[in-house]
Amino acid sequence: METEDGAAGETSLETLAFTRALSDEIGGVPIRAVVIGDVADPAALAAELGAHGADEMHHAVGEAFAAYSGAAWGSAVQQLAEATESDVITAAGTPRGNEVLAHVAARLEVPMAANVVGFESVDPFIVTRQVVGGSALEEMQLYPQPAIFSVAGHSWAAAAVDGAGPAELIEQQPAIDDADLVARVRSTGVKEADHSDSLKSAKVVVGAGRGAGGPNGFDAVVALAELLGGSVGVSRVVTSLGWRPHHEQVGQTGSRISPDIYIPCGISGAIQHWAGCSSSKTILAINTDDEAPMMTKATYAVVGDMHEVLPAVIAELESRR
């Protein structure tokens, strides 16, 4: 479990929701959460994890975890998994989650699957995962056990369990070899403002591509996003041409979004862009080309010029207010 300011990270809680469904399928096996390093209030975190379905919270402490090290964290997870005879080891599909699980899988000499979105069978253990930047799904059998995989971010919704109590808090002090501390974080600095955070967490995203026509063609896009309390997202070609800043880019080399509604305007829907927006719950596409990939994949499609459609949508919304 990854933490942010002492609380469980959103993608880790999503992963916990996945493991609840898996546990139910297997027969109600215990769910043990592993937290590594200093936490301001371990008891409060155990209560939060328990509320989301964890039976136990194993807190790995010690000088070796004063700073992040992929090998050290992997060693800790391996030791705890072996001590508890765990059949499944999973984490959120973040850079850190994937790195730690890769270390564990290498140590145990078993395969690892990244970006899993579901499971098809538990005997044999078969998972479904995103490949090719999220544009395709692949079934992968994980054998031998333990099954090790990361869960794709925003593929499951985090949800608390009614009436669940706190997870049992168990402090652990895994022994870490000096060799596992050769590569680790030596210093940290103040993070620069990351404007993409608001885009990644936005419930509404209004996007625009080449159809905007130029750097002055985004007024209606920005206005609609503000009217709906959302964020602006653009295609790669827009940032490559210098029309909009890179932190607004949606796609394989930009931000991956999962809003309640995504409104791409004048975006053809290349595979790289689709990889960043395919998790959107609803897509309402606006384009003059009714055969554009985005139009054929969208939940709703409006065939028309974005410079005519958006002002009409804005006027209607304003009249209803």
- Give how far Cα 165 sits from Cα of 53, 111, 127, 157, 202, Å: 9, 34, 30, 20, 31
Domains of the chain, start order: 3-181 (3.40.50.620), 196-320 (3.40.50.1220)
Ramachandran region, residue 4 (left: φ > 0; alpha: ψ -120 to 50; beta: rest): beta
Q: E strands of 75-194, at which residues?
A: 88-92, 112-122, 125-131, 136-141, 147-151, 168-172
pLDDT the model gives residue 196? 60
Residue 90 burial (CB count, 10 A): 22
pLDDT the model gives residue 195? 60
**Can you spell out the DSSP letters for 245-310?**
-GGGBBSTTSB----SEEEEES----HHHHHHHTT-S-BEEEES-TTSHHHHHSSEEEES-HHHHH
Pairwise CA distance, residues 283 & 265, whole Å: 11
Secondary structure (3-state) at 159? coil
The dihedral over CA atoms of 248, 250, 251, 254, expressed in degrees to the nearest 10, equals 30
pLDDT tens digits along 167-176:
999 999 999 9
- Specify whether the CB–CB gap between 167 and 57 falls below 8 A: yes
pLDDT the model gives residue 200? 86
pLDDT tens digits along 18-49:
999 999 999 899 999 999 999 999 999 999 99
What's CA 26's distance to the chain center, in Å?
A: 25
Encoding tokens for residue 261? 């509604």
Q: Which of 238, 229, 246, 245 is nearest to 264 (CA)?
A: 238
Pairwise CA distance, residues 253 & 247, whole Å: 11
Element (H, E) at 223: helix 219-227
Pairwise CA distance, residues 71 & 48, whole Å: 27
pLDDT the model gives residue 61? 97
**Can you spell out the DSSP letters for 24-69?**
HHHTS---EEEEES--S-HHHHHHHHHHTT-SEEEEE-SGGGSS--
pLDDT the model gives residue 275? 87
The stretches in the chain having pLDDT less than 50 are none
Q: Which residues contact residue 309 at a Cβ distance below 8 angstroms, ignoring those fewer than 6 apart?
A: 265, 286, 302
In this structure, what are the phi and psi dihedrals at residue 130, rounded to the nearest 5 degrees?
A: -80, 135
